[in-house]
Structure 1
Amino acid sequence: MNSNYLDMIRGKQPGTTPVWFMRQAGRSQAEYRKIKEKYSLFEITKQPELCAFVTELPVKEYGVDAAILYKDIMSPMVGMDVTVELKPGVGPVFPNPIRTQRDVEQLHPFDPTKVSYIGDTIKLLTTEVLDVPLIGFGGAPFTIASYLIEGGPTKSYNKTRGMLVGEPTLWNALMERLADMTIAYLSMQAEAGANALQIFDSWIGAVNEDQYKQGIFPHMERIIHTVKAKFPDLPMAMNGVGNGHLIELWKDLPLDVIALDWRCSIDVASAMGITQTLQGNLDPAYLYADKAVIKQELDTILEQGVRHGKHIFNLGHGVFPEADPDVLKWITEYVHERSQELWVSK
């Protein structure tokens, strides 16, 4: 197995900076688009062999050092008997938004048997398919709550933040339920054989530091400590968009990897005293640029990563559908080649 990703996290310098891309499976890949003409995302995830095929596609096409399980952060809602629809061009939509204590009480505890196909896919990938580590993942309670409360995607998060600051009892009741789900869901993936875990709090940049400390951090602390206590040797990463004001809080958690978006440089994060592996953080906008421009930015990121001492290359957010697969493949190759030179000369 190509262990560069795991070696970097564990402090065993692999001599090259490992690469993977958020949302690398699907999105812009021609072969994936053909599959999507026939199956929806949820239909793909319910077929282990097909889901494993999609998960492996970017490993074969781009040469990345890790695979991330193909699914949506809303996938575990099935295990809570929550109705969710993925509308093309819109995203997850919930016909019955969470607004009251009764709504929260009607959320069922997460039942892993209702999403057993996810575990089956992980077992297939890690025992028969992949020659790189597999990253399992789950959405953080705030990001999942934002969909549940708003009824779907939003740019303001007004109802979500309104509950957070205006109805703290209701908010914490919802967070408790979603934290329980996250613990059970991540544990299920670990038990099925995932080689690492990542928590995505994609929209956490919508809250300020005080709001995070009061209504979100205690629940994240419980999730991370609980999962890490159960699986102490399994690397665990935290990711969020617009998270620069929060990473100092994360550095004291038992996390192995902290992901940065493009708003916070690796040098700045390193100066905060973060000793964990840093992941990121090419602005996806550079995927539109020519190679000379991309190369300049890659050099800056890689040099900062080598200075920090532990770095996994990624985007600051996810691959978008218009991204050119050839560019992603070229970036992977360039990161591998250039980082080898930098690590040798360090």
Structure 2
Amino acid sequence: MEIMTAKNAPLLDAIAGKTPSRTPVWFMRQAGRSLPEYRQVREGIPMLDSCFMPELLAEITLQPVRRHDVDAAILFSDIVVPLKAAGLDIDIVPGKGPVLADPIRTAADVANLPILDHEVTEVQEGIKIINEELTDQQTLIGFAGAPFTLASYLIEGGPSKNHEKTKAMMHGEPELWHALMQRLTPTIIHWLRGQINAGIEAMQLFDSWAGYLTEKDYREFVLPYSTEILESVKDIPRIHFGVGTGEILAAMGSAGSEVMGVDWRVPLDVAAERIRRENGAKVLQGNLDPAILFAGTKALTKEIQRIKDEANRAIAVGDATGHIFNLGHGVMPNTAPDAITEAVSIIHS
């Protein structure tokens, strides 16, 4: 894919295999609870409601770009927004996460699961507002939850520590599992196509819970659907990321993204070699441990340099084609905003 880059946009240049003007950096969950301005504008407004308010979602998306000088904005949303937009009775409970009133457990439940088939105009309007403020050097990243993670929320009825009901369906009722994935996939595709139509310049498929799977199970039960989703949005740069996925990086890499996100548990050069063996060299994204943002300037500088060195080694030996700096997961809610700003400054320098 030939990536059309905006003037001097470091993130898009890195994905295109060009030499960016500076190491591009953005952070997962950079918009949100770590920022006092976020808490102020969200006060009294439920999480999912805020995702359907164009001016508010634009403001929240832009807050970390203004404060931290990151090279990309990540669309403020939640992985269950397309399900809510499709008409599913789902809510985000403070301190717990997405909770479903009636979990999806039977063939009838799957057959009745609504599919998103209309434009989510509130989100599209928000994207247009965001792009009016971003400069040519800054990139807007859209995102969607991957089908396995969404399926797990639906089956378990909310967050799960063990995903036992999910795995029970996967292995005990494989036909039902595949029917559910086939029901979810068009909703995710439609959700992403709507973001593209509104003006996102890259996207991330976020598989929060994929690290709970064996490689065999990932390839059989998940990979075909993530591949279909990524194939449907190949007109923009694609990032693929999951947590705890060191053992399945090669499999995830075969889903088709240009960029592979790596969590903090695997050194970037090691991850790059695992990915390259099966898929050829890709751009790496990551992978500072979010906890290091609490450790002070000296430790932060040391870890950032280590990660950049690992990325540079991977690029030098042909295991990677570029590097986007990020955390190995999201910003923790009680992270000091000044520590995030400092990290960006160190990365850029």
Which category describes the TM-score, using the shorter chain as reference length?
over 0.9
Tell me by how many angstroms 1:143 deviates.
0.4
Partner of 2:259: 257
Task: Give the SS at the match of 2:260.
Answer: strand
How far off is 1:41 after superposition? 1.9
Does residue 313 of the first structure (1) align with residue 312 of the second (2)? no
Aligned to 1:8: 14
SS across alignment from 1:57? helix
Pick closer, same or farther for the CA change 1:335–1:296 going to 2, 3 Å.
same
1:130 equivalent in alignment to 2:134:
yes
Which of 302, 312, 335 in structure 1 is aligned with 2:347?
335
Partners of 1:136 and 1:2 in 2: CA distance? 20
Cα distance in 2 for residues equivalent to 1:40 and 1:308: 43
Q: Is the 8 A contact 1:5 1:133 kept in 2?
A: yes
Over aligned residues, Cα RMSD in angstroms? 1.3
Structure 2 gap ranges (5+): 1-6, 316-321
1:165, 1:211 within 8 Å by CA — same for their partners in 2?
Answer: no
- Asked whether the 8 Å contact 2:206–2:242 carries over to 1, the reply is yes
- TM-score by length of structure 1 reads 0.93
The number of residues matched between the two structures is 331
Deviations along 1:6-54, one digit per CA (max 9) or x if unpaired, are 1110111114211100000112100111122232222222221121111
State yes or no: 1:74 paired with 2:80.
yes
The answer as to 2:90 corresponding to 1:121 is: no
Q: Residues 11 and 25 of structure 2 are in contact (CA less than 8 Å); yes or no, is this contact kept in structure 1?
A: yes
Q: C-alpha distance in 2, partners of 1:87/1:171?
A: 26
Q: Is the 8 A contact 2:152 2:163 kept in 1?
A: yes
Deviation at 1:226, TM superposition (A): 2.6
The range that moved more, 115-124 or 64-73, is 115-124
Alpha-carbon deviations, 1:41-79, whole Å to 9, x = none? 222222211211110000010010000000111111123
* Partner Cα separation in structure 1 for residue 330 and residue 190 of structure 2: 25
Residues 2 and 133 in structure 1, CA contact (< 8 A), matched pair in contact too: no
Deviations 1:241-266 (A, max 9, x none): 01111211233343111000011111
Which residue of 2 is the match for residue 239 of structure 1?
A: 241
| 1:340 counterpart residue number | none
Q: C-alpha offsets along residues 96-153 of structure 1, whole Å, 9 cap, x if unaligned?
A: 000000000001221333x221111112212x12121100000001101111111111
Structure 1 residues without counterparts, runs of 5 or longer = 338-346
Aligned AA (2:331)? V
Amino acid at match of 1:245: E
Identical counterparts, % of pairs: 44
Inter-partner Cα distance in structure 2 for 1:133 and 1:283: 23
**Match of residue 4 from structure 2:** none
Aligned partner of 2:64 among 51, 58, 64: 58
Amino acid at match of 2:74: I
What SS does structure 2 have at the residue aligned with 1:137?
A: strand
